[in-house]
Structure 1
Amino acid sequence: MGVKVREKPKNSGNWWVFIDHQGRRKAKKIGKDKRTAMAVAKQIEARLILGELHLSKEHENQAPSFEEYATTWMTLNVPATCKPSTEKDYRSILDNHVLPAFGKKPVTEIKRMMIKKFLMGKIKSGFAASTVSHMKSCIGGALNVAVDDGVLMANPAHRLGKIFKKRNVQSDIKPYSRDELASLLDSFQTHFPGHYPQALTLARTGMRLGEALALQWDDIDFEGRSITIQRTFSRGKIGLPKNGKRRRIDMSKQLTQVLKDTKHQRKIETINNGWGKVPEWVFLSNNGTALDINHWRKRVFYKAIAKAELRKIRVHDIRHTYASLLIQAGESLAYVRDQLGHHSISVTVDIYGHLTPGGNKDAVDRLDDLDGDATIRNLSATNKKRASQ
């Protein structure tokens, strides 16, 4: 038996009495006065001891609502563990999808099958698997707070089983060939020469667009021919790269020279524009500030593709192009993983493993007999023996 008083959500000023008696758990919202809640708890505990209070099912639906725990989760947990862009996604998903379905329900009423039907309904309605996965994260995150609070014994959003088919990431890859990439870079040099260094950086490093736009001159080691990826631009804000890890990537001789020339040009622009000092960002707008991702994508990248009369691809497909060309050149998937910054080799294999068909024919050939004709001779001898019997 137990009767406890708690503030739910924390720092809200709302006080609840939680009762755990003979296998039943109940919750009752008392109000803003903690002393009143403590007095009620003592009365309930006394009545339970005397056997005067029996917990009936009519009281079972008085647990805190899902919305209360979702608010706590978004206020405390998400900012501490997620990037601002993810926090914004979760806020939108909660407001538009999850809260309309679960917000007013007491958390004790939310069952595993209810959650599963909700998610499968979203898949059936045409939402992307990644979006539905975020919905599941929002539901599970809020209910984890309820578990931590002792209101739920287990999180019903866990172990839901298969909700949707695993996405075939390979089908999303549409890289350019070497010749197509060369045509695109020629288009940049001809029609958008000021943006050619950035296009070449994407093509020769495979870094994400946000990572390229967040590059600073101190990140580049011209002598060692390497670039350290330390930050990224995401929705107008600076943050850590994806997976929260910094990485160092190799820089080709061509890219090294182009970026050296770009840095020299920046010094000239600084003097001509009266900027005072060379801007820290490698790639700049006309007024010396960092470039806007959407502006560059729409006003420069897509127009360069059109000028080159190439099939339209995403900026991210330049990253796939870089990886596919490395693999075609015989580089290992482990090296590709390190350059791209994947957190696991399995991610690299899942995305690019199909680009290496036949790559190990020499390896399996080495398993054959040293005498290449031995198998053929033995087979011929066997056939003659059978014929004579």
Structure 2
Amino acid sequence: MAKRANGEGSVFKRKDGSWSAELSYRDEHGVLKRRTVYGKTQAEVRTKFRDARERIESGAPVKDASVTVAAWLEGWITKSLAASDRKQATKDLYATIARTHLVPTVGTIPLGRLRPSDVEALIIAKRDAGLAASTIRTIYTVLRAALDIAARDGMLRSNPAAVVRRPGVDRRDAPHLTVDQAHALLDAVRGDRLESLFRLMLATGLRRGEALALHWSDVDLDAGQLRVRWTLSRTSKGLQLEEPKTDKSRRTVPLPRSAVETLQAHRGRQEDERRAAAGAWRDADLVFTTEIGTPLEPRNVLRRFELLAQRAGLAGVHLHTLRHSAASFLLAAGTHTKVVQEHLGHSSYAITADIYSHVGPAQQREAADRLDQALRW
């Protein structure tokens, strides 16, 4: 990468009527080098000359890389992304997004010629294709992350995605169960091998990965609480236990009495399965396992829940609905939003308040009714 440039350049007209200018500079090793710029007019050449000189003096590359965006993305996936401290599931997602949505669209563009308008055109094309707003935001996030590394490595003067506004996501009320629907669901899961898992998730609002990674050593039935320290997910490297993404996700969650009773009964059934499996049992201290003690496959758990929800006559209800329902029930019962935030492990108060804003009107109506009763003589 160049360190300095001189302030002069020989600007002259060429035989074909175009103009050119030559800039000399020393690279990071002190080696004298030259850079020639061309243009149709003298003014264009002088502009390019000033730009080249500013790039050199600022430590930026003399010219942007000519490799394609596709080639850069593949290198980024196998090197920078792989070396990052992101969770393996996130690395897998980013690699899939890059290969599925970026390579076929902006992949043929030379890296140095990618412009903010190209990024905006990509966003528009994905919207026209009917992709979810959250998916489009992730596509932008992946592209920007890859280009950040290109700029860091001197392949680009600056990241063209950085000046493009991040795509927004429409806020929608989190889908949640009514009390009657919750009872219908609990009736449908009764007797199922995964009944205890689903009951615990509804009672605590644990994420799927958090519940499947729960260890008995993290459960204190006497104190009526559990600790969230791990999350289980399927990755390209198999099932992996990883630490939660944020400090807020690592938390202690109180257990309602019904949840304590559910776990007590579940532990007894697990002991029966352990004895039945005999030498085939693989003890990993996990609360929820297969019949031989191994971790449950997250996708199988999801499929099983959706089948049971259909049997209960609950259309459009997914496993994550249990988490939203737990939060809605807590808020409807008058629990402060800050407490619910800590209960769920959200990174900020604003996230909880925004996701569950639908509970507010009901609480306001209840408060107004109570005030009305208090004012009556």
Give the TM-score normalised by the residue count of structure 2: 0.76
1:22/1:234 CA distance change after superposition, 3 Å? farther
Larger Rg computed on CA atoms: 1
Q: Does 1:96 align with 2:97?
A: no
Output the CA distance in 2 between the equivalents of 1:112 and 1:278: 53
**1:304 to 2:308 alignment:** yes
**Does 2:238 match 1:234?**
no
2:37 to 55, 70, 73: 55
Contact 1:73 1:141 in 2 (8 A): no
**Which residue, 272, 276, 281 being the options, matches 2:286?**
281
Q: Give runs of aligned pairs for residues 342-381 of structure 1, distance below 5 A.
A: 342-357=346-361, 359-360=363-364
Residue 193 of structure 2 corresponds to residue 188 of structure 1: no
Equivalent residue number for residue 78 of structure 1:
81
1:256 corresponding residue in structure 2 = 260
User: Who is 1:32 aligned against?
Assistant: none
Separation (CA, whole Å) in 1 of partners of 2:38 and 2:227 = 63
* Cα 1:123–1:262 shift into 2, 3 Å: same
In structure 2, do the counterparts of structure 1 residues 23 and 346 end up closer, same or farther at CA, with 3 Å as the change threshold?
Answer: farther
> Mind listing any 5+ residue stretches in structure 1 that lack a counterpart?
5-18, 25-39, 374-389
1:278 Cα deviation from its structure 2 partner: 5.2
1:156 positional shift: 1.1
Deviations 1:91-114 (A, max 9, x none): 122222212333343332111111
Larger deviation, residues 259-268 vs 356-365: 356-365
Could you tell me which residue of structure 1 aligns to residue 211 of structure 2? 212
> What is the distance in 2 between the residues matched to 1:159 and 1:243?
27
- Structure with bigger helix share is 1
CA shift in 2, pair 1:260/1:279, >3 Å: farther
Uncovered stretches (5+) of structure 2, i.e. residues with no partner: 10-25, 41-61
Return the TM-score normalized by structure 1.
0.74
- In 2, the alpha carbon distance for the partners of 1:81 and 1:127 equals 28
Q: Distance in 1 between matches of 2:175 and 2:306?
A: 15
* CA shift in 2, pair 1:316/1:68, >3 Å: same
Correspondence for 2:171? 168
Please state whether the residue corresponding to 2:346 is helix, strand or coil. Answer: coil
Partner of 2:338: 334
Q: What is the RMSD computed on CA atoms of the aligned residues?
A: 3.5
Go from structure 1 to structure 2 and tell me whether the alpha carbon gap of 1:61 and 1:332 turns closer, same or farther (over 3 Å shift).
Answer: closer
CA distance in 1, matches of 2:65, 2:8: 16
1:57 offset after TM fit, Å? 6.1
Distance 1:366 1:151, change over 3 A: same
Aligned length: 332
Identity %: 25
Residue 366 to residue 280, structure 1, CA distance change in 2 (3 Å): closer
The superposition leaves residues 258-313 of structure 1 with CA deviations (integer Å, 9 ceiling, x where unpaired) of 21222233223322321467551111222332211222222x32332233333341
Q: Distance in 1 between matches of 2:265 and 2:319?
A: 24
Q: Is the 8 A contact 2:229 2:250 kept in 1?
A: yes
Q: Deviations over 1:109-155 (max 9, x none)?
A: 11111111111111111111222212212221222122213343321
Output the CA distance in 1 between the equivalents of 2:298 and 2:330. Answer: 26
- Tell whether the 8 Å contact from 1:61 to 1:106 is kept in structure 2 after alignment: no
Give the equivalent residue in structure 1 for 2:139: 135
